[in-house]
Amino acid sequence: MFADYVDQTIALVVFTLISSMTPGPNNLMLLASGVNFGFRRTIPHIAGVVVGFPAMTALVALGLGGMFRAAPWLHDAIEVVGVAYLLWLAAKIAFQPVSRGVEVRTKGAAAKPFGFFQAAAFQWVNAKGWVTAISAVSVYVPDGFGAIGGAAFLVAVFLPISIASTCAWTGLGASIAHLLHEPTRLRLFNLTMAASLVASLWPAFVDLARLAREITS
């Protein structure tokens, strides 16, 4: 029995590392924020992700996932809202002012990085986050843990890895900011991040196309 728990924990850690460290909406936005605003000003954004995503996963483990299985349309509705919001964020990243370069932008008040509550709330419309949370609850929680035990187990694994992942992506952005002092370079970087954010929505676009076919058929 103990060996089974160890195997489940190792499997969850590997799954969490892959899902948390690979590019996705959270990580791409943190990378862009690190470049445009620096690490220190991005800390509230980091904290919002670190707290918000494990909390959402815990709520799924406590039974929220059952509500989505009982009412599949809720998942579709969240996906639609999430895609629309992420497209808006991509446009905001692409077209934020860069005429004075990174050095001044990080000190200016024209644009602001995500705040704690904004980043925490974003987890609820992040399609990748929902897939990760539901997969973790469905596959990696050991039998016999119960809802509360499963939620605690997931938070214990997701929390430290989320801290490492968010700090790493933000730190990467802050570390390359000096290469982007030229406004043209910064504009190109922001356009690339916006395009990457849109590309990360491909699975959601496929789901929405399927939903549209079902509605019109």
Q: For residue range 163-204, list pLDDT tens digits in order.
A: 999 999 999 999 999 888 788 888 888 899 889 888 877 777
pLDDT recorded at residue 108: 46
Average pLDDT in the 104-129 region?
77
For residue 44, is it within any domain?
Answer: yes
Q: Environment class of residue 207 by beta-carbon count within 10 Å: exposed (0-12), middle (13-18) or buried (19+)?
A: middle
Does 3 fall in a domain? no
Over residues 109-119, the mean pLDDT reads 82
Answer whether residue 78 is part of any domain. Answer: yes
Domain count, the chain: 1
For the chain, give the mean pLDDT: 83
CA distance 19 to 145: 23
User: Is residue 48 over pLDDT 70?
Assistant: yes
Do the domain assignments include residue 30? Answer: no
Q: Cα dist. 137→1, 76, 207 in Å?
A: 19, 19, 21
163 in any annotated domain: yes
Does residue 35 sit within a domain?
no
Whether residue 151 lies inside any domain: the answer is yes
Instruction: Determine the structural domain holding residue 94 and report its residue range.
Output: 40-216
Q: Is residue 11 part of a domain?
A: no
Name the pLDDT band for 99 (thresholds 50, 70, 90).
low
